[in-house]
Amino acid sequence: MMSDFTKVAIANRGEVAVRIIRACQELGLQTVLLHSKADVGSRAYRLSDHCICIGDSPVGESYLSIERNIDGILASGAEAVHPGFGFLSENADFARVLEQKGITFIGPSADVIEKMGDKIAAKKIIEKAGLPTVPGYNGDDQSIDHLIKEAEKIGYPVIAKAAAGGGGRGMKVIENKSQAREMIEAAKREGQAAFGSDKIFLEKYLNRAKHIEVQIFGDLAGQVVHLFERECSIQRRHQKIIEEALSPSLDHKLRNQLTHAAVTLAKEVGYVGAGTVEFLVQDGQFYFLEMNTRLQVEHPVTELVLGVDLVKAQVLTMMNRFAVWDQDILVPRGHAIECRIYAEDPYTAGIPSTGILGHQYWPQGPGRRFEVAFDEGDEVTPYYDSMIAKAIVWDETRSRAIMKMQRVLSEIVLFGVKTNIPLLQQMLAHPEFIDGSFNTQFVNSYFAEGAIQRDRENWKEQLAQIAYQKVSEAPHSNSSSTLSPWSQDWRNV
């Protein structure tokens, strides 16, 4: 249902709830935060015009419960709901109940969510449109013996994925024949436990691939544009940590192919609002991975290079007050990088750190943006994802953006919990990050155990040394991305 509305419920928490509240308030709309008991101590709670507690702190009793959210929405009198990302944002049943109740879901229709949420169905649509997918097995015969045979046909390494999976879960890499049975069973179990279905599919595992995704946007008149790509290959356990716009490693031709494929898919399914089409890119070839029918965590990097507000565009689209930007005016400028800041021990590959937050300092300045979930005195609890903030920077070139992000990370002050900032600093200083040649194996190859415990000053010097050598040895095709931030000549940076 599309109509004008004045009150928007936010079915989410943390920094994204803050982001949505601000966008709505700036548009003159009232907000209602649907929150759990634990999140009374959060920035979103304090900023929202109204708040309704929908349940206890465990996600099953609040953020993931369709019933609790619907009750909250009906009680609040909100005419629209923004689901953010994660939780119910890609839940077709939630969108469908809202449709039935005449409440606007700020996102695509339940049918589109459903089509794209089933990764096998989405792959079939892509194949029908003549676009490349990762070779593999999508069949109905789900017996373990048959799946093992198919894995062998594909050739190891193979990745087993839950058809209904998401958020990096329900995926198992099978390195060789001896692991096949165990990994296939594990993927099925995980799929059943996390997504209520043990249906899996198999894909060739591309072990030198980059994860590159295209932001698309559709309006109610059926127009679709793309907002270029984001480079999201810096991942731990299939979850992104650092993202950039644009990608330092696409040439003109490949960029055109990717954006064209994304727009084709979005048009094919009648996509409305913000969506992301994810690809793997290896050896100059691209393969469709999946489509996310929602706002992405990393949307700010696109906003910064294009000068757009994706959240406002989402809201206005559903009010039928927005026609998509002209593709020609979407011209990227400069470079943006986002770092996800997690409350975790940086030296232990991600053990969460909880506690009451003390003093915070976010070093504001030109081209620096902070999306923050908590204020001083709030508690980071073990109930939710440990991402507590995002730091995003923009500058005229990639190397300057890297230098700015290093500076920003070294200036942030956050007492009360440990954070992954030392890990982020080391990643940004790594030669493969600096020259843009990294792929999705980056974290596993260099930081599998977390940040490297070294003499504080020493690691920086060592990495800078290797970085400089590597960059001068093997210049990258995109020259603006190859300049070392450690270069002596600041005019080139």
Active-site positions read 294
**CB of residue 421 vs ligand ADP: minimum separation in angstroms?**
23
Q: State yes or no: residue 159 binds ligand ADP (CB under 6 A).
A: yes
Of 160, 209, 330, 387, the residue at the interface with ligand ADP (CB under 6 A) is 209
Instruction: Return the number of the residue (45 or 195) whose C-beta is nearest ligand ADP.
Output: 195
Q: Which of residues 397-456 bind ligand ADP (CB under 6 A)?
A: 440
Instruction: Return the number of the residue (165 or 273) whose C-beta is nearest ligand ADP.
Output: 165
Q: State yes or no: residue 206 binds ligand ADP (CB under 6 A).
A: yes
Closest CA to 434 of 467, 457, 408: 467
Q: How far apart are CA 139 and CA 149, in angstroms?
A: 12
Where b means 16+ CB within 10 Å and e means fewer, 318-329 reads bbeebebbeeee
Q: Which of residues 302-361 bind ligand ADP (CB under 6 A)?
A: none
Instruction: Return the number of the residue (95 or 134) whose C-beta is nearest ligand ADP.
Output: 134
State both tokens at 430: 């790594």
Q: How far apart are CA 72 and CA 117, in angstroms?
A: 25
State both tokens at 162: 């839950």
The partner residues of 394 in beta bridges, in order of sequence, read 336
Where b means 16+ CB within 10 Å and e means fewer, 40-75 reads ebbbbbeebeebbbbbebebeebbbbbebbbebbee
Instruction: Return the number of the residue (39 or 213) whose C-beta is nearest ligand ADP.
Output: 213
The partner residues of 391 in beta bridges, in order of sequence, read 339, 370
**CB of residue 239 vs ligand ADP: minimum separation in angstroms?**
7
- Cβ neighbours, 10 Å, residue 118: 16
Q: Which of residues 360-399 bind ligand ADP (CB under 6 A)?
A: none
Instruction: Return the number of the residue (216 or 319) whose C-beta is nearest ligand ADP.
Output: 216
Reported as type and span, the H/E element at residue 194 is: helix 180-195
Stretch that binds ligand ADP, among 95-103, 165-173, 357-365, 413-421 (CB under 6 A): 165-173
Q: Residue holding tokens 């599309």?
A: 2
Helices 421-429, 398-411: axis angle to 10 degrees equals: 150
- The binding track of 285-304 with respect to ligand ADP, each residue x by CB under 6 A or -, is ----xx--------------
Q: How far apart are CA 216 and CA 325, in angstroms?
A: 11
Q: Which of residues 175-204 bind ligand ADP (CB under 6 A)?
A: 203
Stretch that binds ligand ADP, among 57-65, 164-172, 216-224, 308-316 (CB under 6 A): 164-172
The site for ligand ADP (CB under 6 A) is made up of 134, 159, 165-168, 171, 203, 205-206, 209, 211, 235, 238, 278, 280, 289-290, 440
